[in-house]
C-alpha cells in the first residue's frame, strides 16, 4: 500500500541473499506476543547489529499487502506451528525514525516537528487529509474497515532521544506520540495487535519509571530470550567461516566478546560480514555513522574514570552498577552511568553474573587505543607515557626501571585491602603495560610448552618488537620466574614467529617486614 502503512516485502527480499543468516525465529517470539498482554516489545542493541534487517523481516512477514511465502517457506520460521496463522495477516505500520529526522534536518526545521511529520505521513497513506480526522480516529476506522489490527514496527525508536538530547520539549512531544499509541486505554486495545521497537537505548525513564512502561524491554544488559537475535551466534559464525573458507579462530579473536546467558558468544554481524567480504580482519567500527564518539565517554571527568579506562584497556574486568542509568545521553550521575551507556553502545561487554564490564574483542580494543591517544586528560597522557616507557625499559632489559614502575603502579592502583592478593599482581602487570596495542596482542594463560604462561605479548605483523613472555612469582626471586619459563618450555610456542623473544620474570615479596625491595625483575633472551 505504501512506504509506512502496509509496505511490501521488497526490503527483506533485497537482503534475503545466499549469505543471509537465518534469524527468522525472532518472528516466532513476536508471534507469541500478538494480541496478548505482553504484546509491546522493545529490543535494544548497538549500531550495525542488524536492527534494520530485523525490522524489514518483520514487516515482510506481517504485512497484508503482499504474499511472502516465497521468502519464508525455506526459513526456520516455516517450521513454527503458528507460521501460517500470522503470515501476511495484519496491517503494518513500519517507521524508521532516522528517516524523519533526516528530512526535518534537510529542511532546516526544528526536531520538535518530527512527531507531526510522522502523523502526516501516516494520514497521507491512509488518504486522510489532516484536519478531516485525527490520527487516532483514522487508525480506528482503518482497523474497522479492514478487519485487521495493526502491528507497529519502529526502527531506531530512540533516534529522537539521541539527536534531540538537549531538547526536552522535542523529546516529550515524541514520547507523547508513542504514549498515545501504546498507553491509551481507549485506543491501544482496539487497534494494536503487537508492537516491535528497536534502537540503541532502552526506553527513556520519566522520573524512576520508563516513559512507556507497558513495553517489555530487552537490552545488552538483559536480552533474556532474545539473546540469540542480538547478533550472530558462534555456531552461525562457524558455519559462515566454513562456507567462505575463513579461519574461525582469527574471526573469534577479532569479533567475539559479547556473551549472554543461555546463548554464549555473540558477534557483531556487520563486522563479521565485512571481514568476509573484504577478506580482511580489521576494525569496521569506525565506519559506522556513530553520533557519539568513544573519546567523549572515556574522557568524562568523573571520580575514578581515568583509572577505570586504564583497567579496561589493560584487560581488567571492572565492576559496574547499571541500575541508575537514565537511558539518555545527558543525565550522567557518575562513572557507572558512563559505563552503562558504553554497554548499550557496544563498546563494552557486560557479564551479568559477575556484574562487570570489559572490552569485548580486538576490534573494540583498537577503537579504545585510537581514542586514548586523542584524550587530553593529563593523568591519562601521563599513564600512557609511563606505559610506553616501560616497554622500552623492558626491551632494553633495564630490570631496575621495570621493577620500579611495576611497584609504582601496584601502589597507586591497588587498594590496601587487596594489595597482597595473588591475583592483584597480574592486574597490575596489565595496567602497567596498557599501551601494548600499538605493537602487541596480549594473551593471558597462553598454553605454552608444559603449562600456561601468565601474560604473553605477541608482536603485531607490522611491529619489529620482540615477543615478551611474562611470568609472575610471589615471595620468590625473579630468577625463579625465569627458571619456570625455561623448565616448562614456554618459549617453544613462539619459535615459529621468527622474532626475538624476551623472558620477563617479575616477583613481589608480600612480607611487609622484609627490608628487601618488594618488587624485582629479571629479563633474559629466550
Q: Residues 234-290: pLDDT tens digits?
A: 999 999 999 999 999 999 999 998 999 999 999 999 999 999 999 999 888 765 444
CA separation for the pair 161, 170 (Å, rounded): 9
**Quick one: residue 397, left, alpha or beta (phi over 0 = left, psi -120 to 50 = alpha)?**
left
431 band by pLDDT with thresholds 50, 70 and 90? confident
Range 10-218 classified under CATH 1.10.3470:
no
Torsion of CA 164, 165, 166, 172, to 10 degrees: 70
pLDDT over 70, % of the chain: 89
Locate the domains of the chain by residue range.
10-218, 228-375, 378-525
- Give me the pLDDT at residue 290, please: 46
Mean pLDDT of 68-88: 97
471 compared with 40, residue with greater pLDDT: 40
> Per DSSP, which regions of 415-476 are E strands?
440-448, 451-459, 467-474
473 compared with 211, residue with greater pLDDT: 473
- Highest mean pLDDT pick, 22-31, 292-301, 424-433: 22-31
CATH of 378-525, one of 3.40.1350, 2.60.40, 1.10.3470, 3.30.450: 3.40.1350
211 band by pLDDT with thresholds 50, 70 and 90? low
Lowest mean pLDDT among 159-173, 240-254, 290-304, 342-356: 290-304
- Per residue in 504-515, pLDDT (tens digit) is 998 887 665 555
Phi/psi of residue 197, each to 5°?
-115, 140
CA separation for the pair 511, 143 (Å, rounded): 78
Handedness of CA 167, 172, 175, 176 (dihedral sign): negative
303 compared with 191, residue with greater pLDDT: 191
Strand duo 192-199 + 150-155: pairing: parallel
Tell me, rounded to whole angstroms, the distance of Cα 40 from its chain centroid: 24
Q: Which three cell numbers stand for residue 10?
A: 521488497
Strand duo 232-233 + 216-218: pairing: unpaired
- Per residue in 397-411, pLDDT (tens digit) is 999 999 999 888 887
331 compared with 420, residue with greater pLDDT: 331
Nearest Cα to Cα of residue 6 among 53, 61, 71:
61
CA separation for the pair 204, 195 (Å, rounded): 17
417, pLDDT greater than 60: no
14, pLDDT greater than 70: yes
298, pLDDT greater than 70: yes
Percentage helix, strand, coil for the chain under 3-state DSSP, each rounded to 5: 45, 20, 35
Amino acid at each position: 500500500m505504501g512506504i509506512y502503512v502496509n509496505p511490501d516485502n521488497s526490503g527483506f527480499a533485497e537482503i534475503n541473499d545466499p549469505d543471509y543468516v537465518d534469524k527468522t525465529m525472532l518472528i516466532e517470539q513476536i508471534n507469541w506476543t500478538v494480541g496478548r498482554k505482553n504484546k509491546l516489545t522493545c529490543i535494544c542493541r548497538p549500531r550495525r547489529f542488524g536492527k534494520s534487517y530485523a525490522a524489514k523481516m518483520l514487516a515482510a512477514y506481517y504485512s497484508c499487502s503482499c504474499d511472502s511465502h516465497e521468502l519464508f517457506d525455506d526459513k526456520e520460521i516455516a517450521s513454527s506451528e503458528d507460521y501460517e496463522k500470522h503470515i501476511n495477516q495484519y496491517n503494518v505500520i513500519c517507521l524508521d525514525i532516522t528517516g524523519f529526522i533526516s528530512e526535518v534536518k534537510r529542511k532546516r526545521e526544528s526536531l520538535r516537528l518530527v512527531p507531526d511529520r510522522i502523523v502526516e505521513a501516516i494520514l497521507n497513506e491512509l488518504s486522510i487529509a489532516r484536519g478531516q480526522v485525527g490520527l487516532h480516529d483514522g487508525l480506528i476506522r482503518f482497523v474497522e474497515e479492514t478487519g485487521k489490527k495493526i502491528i507497529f514496527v519502529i526502527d531506531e525508536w530512540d533516534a529522537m532521544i539521541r539527536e534531540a538530547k538537549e531538547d526536552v520539549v522535542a523529546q516529550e512531544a515524541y514520547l507523547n506520540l508513542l504514549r498515545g499509541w501504546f498507553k491509551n486505554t481507549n485506543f491501544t486495545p482496539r487497534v494494536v495487535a503487537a508492537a516491535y521497537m528497536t534502537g540503541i537505548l532502552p526506553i527513556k525513564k520519566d522520573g524512576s519509571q520508563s516513559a512507556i512502561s507497558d513495553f517489555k524491554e530487552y537490552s545488552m544488559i538483559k536480552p533474556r530470550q532474545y539473546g540469540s537475535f542480538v547478533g550472530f551466534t558462534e555456531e552461525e559464525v562457524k558455519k559462515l567461516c566454513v562456507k567462505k573458507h575463513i579461519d574461525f579462530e582469527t574471526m573469534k579473536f577479532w569479533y567475539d566478546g559479547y556473551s549472554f546467558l543461555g546463548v554464549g558468544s555473540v558477534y557483531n554481524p556487520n563486522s563479521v560480514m565485512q571481514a568476509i567480504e573484504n577478506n580482511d580482519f580489521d576494525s569496521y567500527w569506525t565506519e559506522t555513522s556513530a553520533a557519539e564518539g568513544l573519546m567523549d565517554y572515556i574522557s568524562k571527568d568523573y571520580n575514578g574514570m581515568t583509572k577505570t579506562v586504564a583497567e579496561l584497556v589493560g584487560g581488567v574486568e571492572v565492576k559496574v552498577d547499571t541500575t541508575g542509568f537514565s537511558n539518555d545521553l545527558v543525565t550522567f550521575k557518575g562513572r557507572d552511568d558512563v559505563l552503562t551507556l558504553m554497554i548499550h553502545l557496544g563498546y563494552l561487554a557486560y557479564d551479568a553474573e559477575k556484574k562487570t564490564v570489559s572490552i569485548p574483542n580486538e576490534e573494540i580494543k583498537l577503537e579504545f587505543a585510537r581514542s586514548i591517544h586523542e584524550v587530553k586528560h593529563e593523568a591519562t597522557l601521563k599513564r600512557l607515557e609511563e606505559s610506553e616507557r616501560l616497554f622500552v625499559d623492558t626491551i632494553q632489559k633495564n630490570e631496575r626501571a621495570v621493577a620500579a614502575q611495576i611497584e609504582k603502579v601496584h601502589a597507586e592502583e591497588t587498594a590496601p585491602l587487596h594489595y597482597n592478593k595473588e591475583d592483584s599482581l597480574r592486574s597490575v602487570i596489565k595496567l602497567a603495560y596498557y599501551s601494548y596495542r600499538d605493537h602487541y596482542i596480549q594473551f593471558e594463560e597462553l598454553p605454552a610448552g608444559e603449562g600456561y604462561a601468565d601474560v604473553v605479548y605477541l608482536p603485531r605483523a607490522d611491529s619489529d618488537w620482540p615477543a615478551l613472555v611474562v611470568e609472575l612469582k610471589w615471595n620468590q626471586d625473579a630468577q625463579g620466574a625465569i627458571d619456570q619459563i625455561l623448565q616448562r618450555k614456554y618459549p617453544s610456542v613462539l619459535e615459529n614467529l621468527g622474532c626475538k623473544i624476551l623472558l620477563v620474570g617479575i616477583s613481589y615479596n608480600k612480607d611487609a617486614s622484609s627490608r628487601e625491595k618488594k618488587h624485582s625483575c629479571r629479563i633474559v633472551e629466550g
